[in-house]
Amino acid sequence: MRNLDPINYVSTAIHSSDVNRIFGATWQLLGAASRLTRRGDYIAAEIAGNKVFAVMTKDGIRAFRNVCRHRGARLLPEGSGRCTTIRCPYHQWVWREDGSLLNVPWWGDDPDFNKSDWSLDTVELCEWRGFLFIALAPEMPLADQLGALASEIESEPIERYQWVQEERLVFDANWKIYTDNFVEGYHIPGIHPAFHSAIEFEKFETTAHEGMVKMTAPPREGLFYRGKWLWMWPNWTLSLFDGGMNTSRINPINHHQTELIYNFYFEDVSEDNASKRAKVIADNLAVIREDFEVCVATQKNYESGGYRPGPLSPRHEAGVAYFQQKLRDAGGQ
């Protein structure tokens, strides 16, 4: 197998096509449903530039485009919070929690204007094992997209892990460069020396099927990871560590900038355990950040025209080959 042609990581036209064909057509991890418990609690996020939010209403969680129907302003700031009504900051139009337009101030006489014509646009929402997923125009049911993950973590008590913290990390490389990096352990000796010495690298294994790349390695004494790292098509990850797990969503900001939205979950959320949790999170983030420099430099080499596609390791880069084949199957690469 050969690596993808670098044009796929640097072209704005291919990026636009990725946004439509992949990010517009798949379920995207929004976060823990437990973060929306009280009426008005919301999470606002971007899916490859498309602003969306989910809000708890008296009838359960609803999800909408975070786009004002008047002149297109953003309704709720990105992140999480609580609102009573949904008020556009621009000209103060107000919507109810069900998306219906409630109030249009200072409008003037207009016999053709009907508030009922200007409800918020909805997006699809689905909950799976405590995770909220949203989709703009999903091509398949969430369960089909999740593929092999459901049976892989069937016996893992993820509902017992409580959401503790979200972290957003931004770096200058295409989302596919970061994904290529995440789905192989080949770079662990070179890029993560401390992590390398904490696992039995000779026993590192990678398998890929049904929308999931699974990487495992027996941890040595003292490693916080539990030795299993999962990536799911098209752009999210789940890794197990002692007493909990993290998830991440790999979200493109544009064709050469990416954000990771990491969330950390723990079984023991007691005050006594706070410093231990903080250390696990800090150690996780340190390993994650070690990947950025090599991804940024690779992006520059792809942009320069100085790279021709090289070969992929049968022993260690099956996940890269799998991800890149999924990209080809989605069309456009």
* From ligand FES, Fe ion, none, interface partner of 289 (C-beta below 5 to 8 A by class): none
Residue with smaller CB distance to ligand FES, 91 or 279: 91
CA distance 192 to 201: 12
**3-state SS assignment for residue 202:** helix
CA distance 284 to 215: 16
Smallest CA-to-CA distance from 167 within 80, 264, 244, 238 is with 264
In the bound complex, what is the minimum distance in angstroms from residue 87's beta carbon to ligand FES? 9
R_g of the chain computed on alpha carbons: 21
Q: How far is CA 260 from the centre of its chain?
A: 7
Query: Does 93 engage in binding with ligand FES (CB under 6 A)?
Result: yes
Tally of residues, the chain: 333
In the bound complex, what is the minimum distance in angstroms from residue 250's beta carbon to Fe ion? 13
* From ligand FES, Fe ion, none, interface partner of 142 (C-beta below 5 to 8 A by class): none
* From Fe ion, ligand FES, none, interface partner of 18 (C-beta below 5 to 8 A by class): none
Query: Does 87 engage in binding with ligand FES (CB under 6 A)?
Result: no
Phi (first) and psi of residue 5, to 5 degrees: -65, 140
* From Fe ion, ligand FES, none, interface partner of 90 (C-beta below 5 to 8 A by class): ligand FES
* From Fe ion, ligand FES, none, interface partner of 291 (C-beta below 5 to 8 A by class): Fe ion
In the bound complex, what is the minimum distance in angstroms from residue 218's beta carbon to Fe ion? 18
Considering only residues 55 through 84, tell me which ones interact with ligand FES, judged by CB under 6 A: 68, 70-73
Residue with smaller CB distance to ligand FES, 72 or 79: 72
Q: Which residues, 6+ apart, have CB-to-CB distance to 201 below 8 Å?
A: 185, 188, 189, 217
The helix (H) or strand (E) run that includes residue 191 is helix 188-191
Residue with smaller CB distance to ligand FES, 91 or 289: 91
Residue with tokens 């508030």: 115
CA distance 152 to 169: 27
In the bound complex, what is the minimum distance in angstroms from residue 39's beta carbon to ligand FES? 23
Smallest CA-to-CA distance from 158 within 61, 246, 96 is with 246
CA distance 1 to 319: 12
- Region of 85-93, 157-165, 235-243, 266-274 interacting with ligand FES (CB under 6 A): 85-93
Residue with smaller CB distance to Fe ion, 63 or 188: 188
In the bound complex, what is the minimum distance in angstroms from residue 68's beta carbon to ligand FES? 3
In the bound complex, what is the minimum distance in angstroms from residue 116's beta carbon to ligand FES? 17
* From ligand FES, Fe ion, none, interface partner of 226 (C-beta below 5 to 8 A by class): none
Can you read off the two tokens belonging to residue 281? 């999170």
In the bound complex, what is the minimum distance in angstroms from residue 27's beta carbon to Fe ion? 25
* From Fe ion, ligand FES, none, interface partner of 93 (C-beta below 5 to 8 A by class): ligand FES
CA dist 25 → 101, 140, 250 (Å): 28, 8, 15
Which residue's CB atom is positioned nearest to Fe ion? 291
Q: Which residues bind ligand FES (CB under 6 A)?
A: 68, 70-73, 88, 90-91, 93
